[in-house]
Chains A and B, each alone.
Chain A
């Protein structure tokens, strides 16, 4: 509990403390303007659509992946997780290579004599957000399915349940426990979207709150206004969290025997076709843009200058440190939420999702500058910010499993007086190995892609790989940038895959 309180305090200090520092420097909050309200409307609308579609598509894909067994299934699940960890600029390039005006899809349409489709506009923003977040949603829902003990499915079978009964008795309760959390995480991550919304949005109609913060900082240098907009994001986060908390209900399947029971996949041509289509379409949608990025960059990889490799090493170190920090924050918070049911821990762990990187960076700058030159803090600040921004995803991954753990084994552990490190070693870590591995993989890969690129602290002499990628683009070296993007994608994916595998391995 102490660890959880400490973790919550650290996160609150980082998110609200920096916001407070900006407001304090500005001497108060500024009034919101009419343009902010239209930005808030667009932000909310696109986040609602993106989160709902991501979750809706994730259900058939996760169900198909859960009940079908085929060669390469594990590799496919891992690969389909990759878009989530891509740096935004890389992912947008990949999407444009497929869906852009000169992309594969439009070339195919033109060859077939069909009119070209435009990705630019609200549809493009939602498409990109689904591309980013469908993988996360699919994995979270798949974890839900895997969390239903195999014995329950066998019982259902012996009771003669048809697919409709299984859906009602087993799958719907699981979805009710899993989906609101997944939806919330995606909704919030889309709430702070900036580059995707602007690049694919097609113009100022696609102005998000984050862009308004950007304008307040650099165009108007109006810190009071920026702080108000930051507070608006925190308020929206709180409302969304409270709303989903009312919908989400923990399921009560009880503990199973942890046996891997092979169940024959449901027969029938219709179901087979449906599952095949779900997996095939999702895989194509997620993997083709990534192949486009790799195809362009890999041939140039050997020509990359030494600085880029150095930056890659630096990014790896940052990612590993941030991963340790993220798990150190996420695990106590998840256990505390599961044990006490207190929403405030969940709220603290979710808050970083809506922290504007600009507000966070400026606040940290104001707070730390009296003590040290910002450039000397470049890497520690990058680690801390990446860890904080990866925390909500790690928490989302751990929470359902931590809740079942508490429900299934909590009383037994109490009666055995199993506490402290022994409980962690004998019960918590072994039972949570799979989500812990996935959470670590997410944190490592997300940090590799630098969620917290903060200009005020960036030191070009110690640039991380994403910063180096931007430097290459800014110096016209687009081919080198494409190679650096491939390297970044490969390293992020390798980290993700290693941790994820380690988790599944420890689980068996």
Chain B
């Protein structure tokens, strides 16, 4: 009896404490919220003066995030979704769940990007990363890579965001000739992994000469480990971009807070955390500039990016080409 009274009191107290502040629920991918991601710093900075409880909910990676949203539909408890990229936004926009954000376009993107529903918070270029102590002369484009005996490890486009990025990269650069390029690459591919982590781990263990990752990957090794041996290879056809965006849900029960968070995304407090936690470029460079070491990174000659609806439309045929070319 005593125990149940105590329990009831405890439950009531916690419920009351939770009710004091409005809760803003943000769906994102898991790595955003881990101790090593931007989540903890972003949460502290936003809660400092919003008078609210910012609650991050992790849902796997970007594609799993979209799947969860599609699963929940209009009943979702999310107020904001953060972590989709431009290969997913067409499908996300088609749900009709998102409301216009009304914000100005982000200033520091290498390509014009103005979307009524989604605002970018960071971006990067896909690239093949190699170890300059192991590979002296990296190939200069996909054709040179295909002609060489350089071994690469890539991710599966069906289960991984960078894998899908590579699929669209080849498609954006070579169009009709994409299948031919993949056939040429077949004997360079050591294996295809389910996710980025497995591929990058295998590259570090020496299983492949190059790995599909980002131009910013060498910054981690340089800044966190003081190791300058990892370099991104420059490809002359240009590098495909990943732009990561956030959107606000039309059915949010905290519309003001949601708008406030959307505006906060462009602030120096949010943007300043991005480079050294998400290891991507911020959408608005903070006043202090980028961290030391980022100036050493590869700046591609050209940026490739398919518009969201085109990326969506090309996905299935590009996947079929990829499968046919690699299924020997």
Chain A positions within 8 Å of B, measured between CB atoms, are 25, 35, 89, 92-93, 96-97, 100-102, 120, 194-195, 198-205, 207, 211, 214-215, 217-219, 221, 305, 307, 362, 365-366, 369, 373, 375, 455-456, 458-461, 463, 467, 470-478, 481
Contacts and interface: CB of A to CB of B under 8 A. Distances in A.
Contacts of B328: 203, 205
Contact of B198 (A199, A211, A215, A460): A199
Contacts of A470: 30, 197
Contact of A215 (B159, B189, B220): B159
Nearest to A202: B191
A362 B68 CA distance: 9
A102 B206 contact: yes
Which 9 residue pairs of A and B lie closest in terms of their CB atoms, listed nearest first? A455-B60, A102-B206, A473-B197, A475-B36, A215-B158, A218-B63, A471-B34, A474-B31, A205-B327
A218 B164 CA distance: 12
A198 B197 contact: no
B154 to A, nearest CB: 9
A349 B116 CA distance: 52
8 contacts: A35-B323, A194-B194, A199-B193, A200-B191, A203-B192, A215-B159, A218-B158, A459-B57
B151 A202 contact: no
Interface in B272-328: 279, 315, 319, 322-323, 326-328
Interface string B26-37: 000011011111
A102 B151 CA distance: 12
B34 A214 contact: no
Given A211-B159, A218-B159, A307-B35, A97 B197 contact: no
B58 A458 contact: yes
A369 B76 CA distance: 10
Given A218-B63, A477-B36, A102 B207 contact: yes
Contacts of A472: 36
Contact of A204 (B197, B279, B327): B327
A476 B156 contact: no
B30 A474 contact: yes
Interface in B16-66: 30-31, 33-37, 57-60, 63-64, 66
A221 B64 CA distance: 10
Contacts of B221: 476
Contacts of A96: 202, 205, 207
Contacts of A456: 59-60, 64, 68, 71
A411 B285 CA distance: 81
B224 interface: yes
A101 B33 contact: no
B59 A459 contact: no
A307 B58 CA distance: 17
B263 interface: no
A157 B186 CA distance: 61
Contacts of A25: 71
B19 to A, nearest CB: 15
B121 interface: no
B228 interface: no
The A contact surface, by secondary structure, is: helix
A199 B217 CA distance: 22
B77 interface: yes
A178 B202 CA distance: 38
A305 B36 CA distance: 11
Interface of B: 30-31, 33-37, 57-60, 63-64, 66-68, 70-72, 77, 91, 151, 156-159, 186, 189-194, 196-198, 200-202, 204-208, 217, 220-221, 224, 279, 315, 319, 322-323, 326-328
A218 B204 contact: no
A362 B71 contact: yes
A214 B157 CA distance: 11
B149 to A, nearest CB: 12
A407 B193 CA distance: 49
A218 B67 contact: yes
Contact of A475 (B31, B71, B198, B326): B31
Given A101-B151, A473-B201, A203 B194 contact: no
Contacts of B200: 473, 476, 478
A257 B58 CA distance: 58
Contact of B207 (A100, A467, A478): A100
A476 B224 contact: yes
A475 B91 CA distance: 28
A165 B93 CA distance: 73
A476 B191 contact: no
Contacts of B197: 89, 470, 473-474
B326 A205 contact: yes
A375 to B, nearest CB: 6
B71 A481 contact: no
A219 B191 CA distance: 20
Contacts of A467: 30
A214 B279 CA distance: 27
B207 to A, nearest CB: 5
Given A205-B326, A218-B63, A365-B71, 12 more contacts: A96-B205, A100-B206, A101-B208, A120-B191, A198-B192, A200-B191, A214-B159, A219-B315, A221-B66, A456-B60, A471-B31, A473-B201
Contact of B191 (A203, A369, A471): A203
A365 B217 CA distance: 35
Given A96-B202, A214-B158, A362-B71, A476 B220 contact: yes
The CB with the most chain B CB atoms within 10 A, among A93, A219, A463, is that of A219
Contact of B190 (A202, A362, A461, A478): A202
A217 B67 contact: yes
B207 A101 contact: yes
B201 A93 contact: yes
A93 B204 CA distance: 11
A207 B186 CA distance: 16
Given A203-B326, A218-B159, A460 B206 contact: no
A218 B64 contact: yes
Contacts of B186: 203
A474 B198 CA distance: 9
